[in-house]
Amino acid sequence: MQLASDILTSDIVRSVTYLRNNLQLTSDILTSDILTSDILTCDKIRSVTYLRHTCNLRLTCDIHLRHTYLRHIYLRHNLQLTCDILTCDIVRSVTYLRQTYLRHTYLRHNLQLTSDIRHNMQLNSDIRHNLQLTSDIVKSATY
């Protein structure tokens, strides 16, 4: 009986030890699962943070590209306006030069006409003087 009791006690001790070991293993596995879950959660948080950061970088890059594009359009528009203004100024300057040239030509022509009129008046005066001389010669020849 004592031997059977010792065997049962020994079996109970082994069973309890086995259960304790299994319980410890189960606890270790659960702790390991919790740690793994925490690590995965941390990895997910890092991934989400990375994705947000990447998304923010892309958004910042897109915004920068849009601003650059808008600046480019603004500068191109201003350049076009400047070209248009310069072209308009050049056309005005050319028109002014043409008008000045035409005035100069007109004045030169008028000056030439005035000179021709004075020359004709001088010729008329010379003709009158010659007629007077001829008249005087004819009168003196008849006396």
Q: Please give the pLDDT value at position 124.
A: 93
pLDDT in tens, 100-129: 999 999 999 999 999 999 999 999 999 999
pLDDT bucket at 63, cuts 50 / 70 / 90 = confident
pTM summary value: 0.41
Q: Please give the pLDDT value at position 60.
A: 82
| Nearest-angstrom CA–CA distance, 136 and 125 | 16
